[in-house]
Amino acid sequence: MAERAGGTLPTARVRAEATEAKVVVRGLSVRYTSSRGTLTALEDISLSVQAGEFCCVVGPSGCGKSTLLRVLAGLIPCAEGEVRIRSDGPQRPLTAMVFQDYALLPWRTVLDNVAFGPENRGVPRAERYRLAREILAKVGLSGFEHAYPHQLSGGMKQRVGIARALANDPEVLLMDEPLAALDAQTRNLMQEELLRIWAEFGKTVVYVTHAIDEAVLLGDRVVVMTARPGRVKAVVPVDLERPRTLEQKGSAHFARLYNEVWQLLREEVSAASREAGGG
Amino acid sequence: MTGAAARQTLRAVRVDARSLAAAGILVAGWEFLPRRGLLNPAYFPPASQVVAALAEGLSAGELLPHVAATVSRLLVAFFLAALPGLGVGVAMGLSGTVRRVADPYVALLYPIPKVALLPLMLILFGVGERAFVLTGALTAFFQIVVNTMDGIRQVDPTLVEVGRNYGATRFRLFWKVVLPAALPGILTGLRLGLGLTLVTVVAVEFAIAKSGLGHVVWGSWQTLTTPRMYAAFVAVGLLGLLLTRGLKRLQDRLLAWQTSVDVW
């Protein structure tokens, strides 16, 4: 069953009945054509994500990490290659995205923000509010149902963003640098929160980040991308014990993994900054 | 009016007491300078005479029909403009095609003072209410179009992505995401449109109508009945204050979710 993404653009992003993995990306390329020529954002990406896996994607700025996520989200058409997302419930949305800048609807209360996805699918008010309250409780936001986003701190806003995604009960949770706008201490707290929430909900997650420590702490695997045009350079399995805690960041094992990812990333980052510097 | 009622009225139109004090100083000067002969009272009658003329005109019912004429022209012009203005503005905001076709015309016509189109309106519709009201409506129309279009174009694209990713249909994407996000700009356009329409309507009355506050100003000037002329000025000013403050209140209520800052 093919699903059309973004309203009108035909894509090769499909809802699959049976695949070997939850998410299968095969030969995906994304190019932008303008009067100044063709820009290749992503080139020949192939990637599988298992059901229930936490898959982190790191790469230099401008490598197309966000583009990859937006193709998975159906916001950018997948013109070359294919994306298959296995559906385990015919009514469930394929993806729900958590955005870097929270992207809450500022005129809606916390409750109505969280209930937004079910509301779009026609879930009755009482039912979607019950669901939203339940999830708000699980992300630690009980009592803030009727607050407006501008009354919340950054960390709380992102909890709302995460609750909104969970309330939509997607097949795959997509996270686009969700902690990048937070201060370092709040980021640490939220990393623990994410570990706890992920363990509780058992979602398949594709998580884009700049922060290597975050990727290693959270991920089952870290996908390292090259500088533009973005390709998959390497996939580093993270065999840290679960359940994970912040304390593991101090371990020698963590440091080894961190270094492995950094060595892979290093030349890509300098390549990306050379390109940015040279125009 | 009792003190409490006066305070309540002031709150309703949102006038700061300090702002009122400044007005008091101005009025005192306006009273004092003509009385001492420092200003020619034939041209600048003391404030008390203007207030008396205003009170008399309102209580004797001589000014009231003119106030009513101006207000009804203003409201008809505004509502005549608001619906098509919102429609065209939304269409231009949403669709690049519509925008590319319509934008040159809007850009061309928007800056023309619509009073300058009065002769054209008179040729098209004859001397009468239709021409007066349409001239006012054109003023509001372009203001509303421009602000509505900009309001929609400035909607954060990430919010549109949220709408799409969270399963909003095109219909819901517009009503539940784009329109609320664009509302601040749209309401500003309506408020500016209303204020500018008052300007145009008064100018039209000045030039040609046989009723309305603008007509009173011009007639009083020609007969040098200056207290009445200033009384009409004051009435126009108060009208503008009440209308735009009323809309501002509505805007603040609808946009309670917005944060605003007093920089100083």
- Top residue of A3, A98, A107 to mutate, by most chain B CBs within 10 Å, is A107
Q: List CB contacts (< 8 A) between B176 and chain A.
A: 120
Residue A74 at interface with chain B, using a CB cutoff of 8 Å: yes
**Whose CA is closest to A236, among A267, A210, A257?**
A257
Contact A148 B177 (CB under 8 A): no
What integer pLDDT is reported at residue A91 of this predicted model? 82
Closest B-chain CA to A117: B166
What does A151-187 look like in DSSP terms, one character per residue?
Answer: GS-HHHHHHHHHHHHHHT--SEEEEESTTTTS-HHHH
Asked whether the predicted pLDDT for residue A5 surpasses 70, the reply is no
CA B251 to chain A, closest CA, distance in angstroms equals: 13
Distance separating alpha carbons of residues A250 and A206, to the nearest angstrom: 25
Asked whether the predicted pLDDT for residue A4 surpasses 70, the reply is no
Q: Measure CB to CB from residue B167 to each of A99, A106, A120 and give the nearest one.
A: A120
Closest B-chain CA to A91: B167
Residue B172 at interface with chain A, using a CB cutoff of 8 Å: yes
* Token pair belonging to B11: 């709150």
Distance separating alpha carbons of residues A260 and B35, to the nearest angstrom: 90
**Tokens 């207000």 map to which residue?**
B71
Lowest mean pLDDT among A179-183, A221-225, B139-143, B259-263: B259-263
ipTM: 0.92
Do strands A23-34 and A13-16 pair parallel, antiparallel, or not at all (unpaired)? Answer: unpaired
A61-75: pLDDT as tens digits: 888 999 999 999 999
Residue A123 at interface with chain B, using a CB cutoff of 8 Å: no
Distance separating alpha carbons of residues A21 and B258, to the nearest angstrom: 44
What integer pLDDT is reported at residue A10 of this predicted model? 39
What integer pLDDT is reported at residue A20 of this predicted model? 79
B179-233: pLDDT as tens digits: 999 999 999 999 999 999 999 999 999 999 999 999 999 999 999 889 999 999 9
Contact A121 B167 (CB under 8 A): yes
A230's CB contacts (< 8 A; 6+ apart) are: A41, A42, A43, A45, A59, A63, A64, A65, A67, A68
CB B163 within 8 A of CB B172: yes
Half-sphere CA count of B109, side-chain side, radius 13 A = 16
A7-32: pLDDT as tens digits: 433 347 888 877 779 999 999 999 98
**Tokens 């007639």 map to which residue?**
B219
Q: List CB contacts (< 8 A) between B258 and chain A.
A: 106, 150
Distance separating alpha carbons of residues B159 and B167, to the nearest angstrom: 13
Q: Measure CB to CB from residue A75 to each of B156, B159, B161 and give the nearest one.
A: B161
B15-74: pLDDT as tens digits: 778 888 998 999 899 999 999 989 898 899 999 999 999 998 888 888 899 999 999 999
CA B253 to chain A, closest CA, distance in angstroms equals: 12
CA A264 to chain B, closest CA, distance in angstroms equals: 31
Mean pLDDT of chain B: 91
Q: List CB contacts (< 8 A) between A107 and chain B.
A: 180-181, 183, 255, 257
A195-207: pLDDT as tens digits: 999 999 999 999 9
Domain ranges across chain A = 102-169
Count interface pairs A-B at CB distance under 8 A: 62
Q: Measure CB to CB from residue A150 to each of B165, B180, B259 and give the nearest one.
A: B259
* Token pair belonging to B106: 């809007």
* Token pair belonging to A157: 């806003």
Contact B165 A7 (CB under 8 A): no
A235-244: pLDDT as tens digits: 999 999 999 9
Count of other CB atoms within 10 angstroms of residue B215: 21
